[in-house]
Amino acid sequence: MTSLDLELARERSHHDACRAALIRMTEDVVEQVVIGEDVAASGADAEALGYHLRSRAKEMGEMPPGPLFFGRLDREDGQIHHIGRRRIAEHPAAPPLVVDWRAPVSRAYYQAGAHDPQGVLRRRRFGWAPHSEGATEDLTALEDERLTDGGATGTVSALVTGEIERPRVGPMRDIAATIQPEQDDLVRSEPAASLCVQGAPGTGKTAVGLHRAAYLLYTHPQRIRRSGLLVLGPHRAFLSYISEVLPSLGETGIRQATLDEEIARHPVRAEDGEAAARVKHDARMAGVLHRALYGRVDPAPAEDLAVPDGSYHWRLPASDLAAIVAAVREEAPPYATGRERVRARVVRALQLRAERRWGPMGAAWARKIERARAVTAFLDACWPRTSPEEVLAEVLTEPTDPALTRDELAAIRWARPPRSYRSARWTAADLVLLDELAGLIERPESYGHVVVDEAQDLSPMQCRAIARRTEFGSLTVLGDLAQGTTPWAARDWDEQLAHLGKTGTPVVPLTLGYRVPAAIVDLANRLLPQLGADVPAGRSVRRDGEVTVHRTTDLTAGVREAVRAALATEGSVGVITADGLVEVVTEAVRDRSGDGRVTVLPASVVKGLEFDHVVVVEPAAIVAAEERGANRLYVVLTRAVSRLALVHEGELPECLRTER
């Protein structure tokens, strides 16, 4: 037996011990549920304890199968820590057999190096068979790095390289085993502070955001879990691609949604023209809606208020009423609160008058006056109850706001207003405006933390929807200005962060890519000058990868050939083209599904996704299809994990021509 075999055998037996301990932990939690429900002192305690224990039991039951550790640290002080996705111990007070990757002691695993060993003698990485469900015999390799005795070579770990370059099959995986130091800094940065990551394609922004979410839940369970954590992604396909990362890190039940889903008060039943959508997403709409809502408030009531009380009438002069309304407007509470504040002050003023005449008036009297028909009638006239739908319907029926030009007013005006706002067919942009109005009327609940991916694509009005939900929480903003494809995509992070309500948030660049090989990054970087974004160019850790260009006189034949070639090697194949060509391309590869390995996709939905092989069909058509077509093509090219094939019948966009 070689010394490596011996070490592997030792580690396997440690893994067996961990497995046995984990089984016991799971059994204990289930048992505690039963005991917990019996022993708690009161019904309410039993309920709370039972819920807590059941949640833990459920969490443990839902842990996906897999190896129980991926690394090990041997410290100068003799301590040895195995590091995995969750803590494992013989019993709660025993020293852990496996330390959670998020624990402070694990940090050195990601950060220690020969230049700064952080008390670590040796870092050990474990190699598991691909897709291992955690059978001990799947532990097939280990790699040691000595940090303190001059043994560190500075070379990149073969296990890390293997993990980065592995073929992509199925949904996105967690990267707990191979987080890089610059990513780890972001994952573990202060929870109360917001953070913005400007990352070139494939630099791990999404991965960082999800691991940061898991880190915050672990480090601040009370604060973050109680107030809620939300992950926002650009579309459903993306959310389903990333859906298994948090559960594999032991975090289940975290809400992952698109912003449209988060704010949906109604189904989308109409579509805006381009001009209307542009106006509706513009920051000026915040003012338009504010004015429309508060236009309902009458700042100068014409008549005195007279409230009957038995045979008597209590009166408040119109000037006093105007002063109350003005004071409440000045305080700027949410609209619905404002109405109730005016009511309370009117009653108080009436009470003072009554007390001057009749002496102290009790709470019952105040309640009676509060509900008096005359008081409610005054409020209905001066600060009427309303709904977001009612206000927006008015704006869209007869837009008049001076902040918008005549053309802009015309663009958003309803061609055929509905009979009533209740039957209106709302567009996606209308839902953003309804959310703004809802936020003006009543403050929404704030999340503790929100992770926003592809944040460059959000309009100012969408940003405001997020800002409202993080008024008392923090944000992790992830994005790449070069990948902005919406008509309102941000060109500058400071401005976007101001819309998100987090002015002054530090913007941290990530430029080292883990998805896209250098040859493909270099090609994509040629587009950068025309993307309207001042961002650092991407680089890549990957020296593998290949770009091929196929000029064809028959697009169908060209696509079939490129897909055939892609299927000759392992991995997923994404055939991406302009939305208008999808049908033709789908037809071309109908009989080439490669057992489900081939997916044909319109360029508009590939953001955030990745494929081993990307076949881009007619790149110039992608550029020509929309205003930010060059940015779209940049996104498309950078979906490739290993190989990129460009198939074209027409000319290539100039910057991609090989003769350059």
**Residue set of the binding site for ATP:** 199-206
- Check residue 257 and give left, alpha or beta (phi > 0: left; psi -120 to 50: alpha): beta
CA distances (Å), 625 to each of 272, 355, 619, in order? 18, 73, 10
> How crowded is the C-beta side of 247, counted as CA atoms within 13 Å?
19
CA separation for the pair 366, 299 (Å, rounded): 24
Least distance (Å) from ligand ATP to the CB of residue 489? 13
Least distance (Å) from ligand ATP to the CB of residue 396? 35
Least distance (Å) from ligand ATP to the CB of residue 32? 36
Q: Give the angle 93-98-101 at the CA atoms, nearest 5°.
A: 115
Query: Which stretch of DSSP H or E encloses residue 196?
Result: strand 195-199
Counting every residue written for the chain, the total comes to 660
Give yes or no for residue 480 binding ligand ATP (CB under 6 A): yes
CA distances (Å), 605 to each of 372, 430, 515, 574, 641, in order? 57, 22, 18, 12, 17
Of the candidate spans 17-25, 179-187, 217-225, 464-472, the one that interacts with ligand ATP by CB under 6 A turns out to be 179-187
Least distance (Å) from ligand ATP to the CB of residue 212? 12
Give yes or no for residue 533 binding ligand ATP (CB under 6 A): no
As beta bridge partners, residue 142 has: 126
Give yes or no for residue 203 binding ligand ATP (CB under 6 A): yes
Give yes or no for residue 638 binding ligand ATP (CB under 6 A): yes
CA separation for the pair 262, 615 (Å, rounded): 34
Q: What single DSSP character describes residue 657? A: -
Of the candidate spans 97-105, 171-179, 222-230, 344-352, the one that interacts with ligand ATP by CB under 6 A turns out to be 171-179
Exactly one of 514, 581, 600, 621 binds ligand ATP (CB under 6 A); which one?
514
Residue among 71 and 202 whose Cβ is closer to ligand ATP:
202
Asked whether the beta carbons of 361 and 370 are under 8 A apart, the reply is no
Exactly one of 207, 239, 489, 523 binds ligand ATP (CB under 6 A); which one?
207
Exactly one of 125, 205, 280, 648 binds ligand ATP (CB under 6 A); which one?
205
Asked whether the beta carbons of 497 and 196 are under 8 A apart, the reply is yes
Exactly one of 106, 178, 198, 631 binds ligand ATP (CB under 6 A); which one?
178
Give yes or no for residue 32 binding ligand ATP (CB under 6 A): no
The site for ligand ATP, by CB under 6 A, has a size of 23
Least distance (Å) from ligand ATP to the CB of residue 626? 19
Residue among 211 and 343 whose Cβ is closer to ligand ATP:
211
Alpha helix positions (H), 243-313: 245-248, 259-263, 274-281, 284-294
Site string for ligand ATP, 247-286 (x = CB under 6 A): ----------------------------------------
- In what side-by-side order are the strands of the sheet with 598-602? 546-551, 640-648, 611-617, 573-577, 598-602
Exactly one of 108, 175, 246, 438 binds ligand ATP (CB under 6 A); which one?
175
Q: Which of residues 551-610 bind ligand ATP (CB under 6 A)?
A: 608, 610
Reference 89, options 76, 103, 78, 75; nearest CA is 103
Encode 118-171 in three state secondary structure: CCEEEEEEEEECCCCCCCHHHEEEEEEEECCCCCCCCCCCHHHHHHHHCCCCCC
Of the candidate spans 194-202, 350-358, 375-383, 563-571, the one that interacts with ligand ATP by CB under 6 A turns out to be 194-202
311 phi, psi to nearest 5 deg: -90, 0
CA dihedral 431→437→443→448, nearest 10 degrees, is 30
Exactly one of 122, 515, 597, 648 binds ligand ATP (CB under 6 A); which one?
515
Give yes or no for residue 476 binding ligand ATP (CB under 6 A): no
Of the candidate spans 16-24, 144-152, 201-209, 388-396, the one that interacts with ligand ATP by CB under 6 A turns out to be 201-209
Give yes or no for residue 482 binding ligand ATP (CB under 6 A): no
Residue among 349 and 606 whose Cβ is closer to ligand ATP:
606
Give yes or no for residue 164 binding ligand ATP (CB under 6 A): yes
Residue among 485 and 577 whose Cβ is closer to ligand ATP:
485
Asked whether the beta carbons of 595 and 585 are under 8 A apart, the reply is no
Least distance (Å) from ligand ATP to the CB of residue 394? 41
Q: Which residues contact 125 (CB under 8 A, 6 or more apart)?
A: 70, 71, 142, 143, 145, 157, 159, 160, 177
Site string for ligand ATP, 366-385 (x = CB under 6 A): --------------------
Asked whether the beta carbons of 594 and 560 are under 8 A apart, the reply is no
Give yes or no for residue 292 binding ligand ATP (CB under 6 A): no
Least distance (Å) from ligand ATP to the CB of residue 183? 6
CA separation for the pair 499, 505 (Å, rounded): 12
Exactly one of 206, 256, 462, 496 binds ligand ATP (CB under 6 A); which one?
206
Sites of contact with ligand ATP (CB under 6 A): 163-164, 172, 175, 178-180, 183, 199, 201-207, 480, 483, 514-515, 608, 610, 638
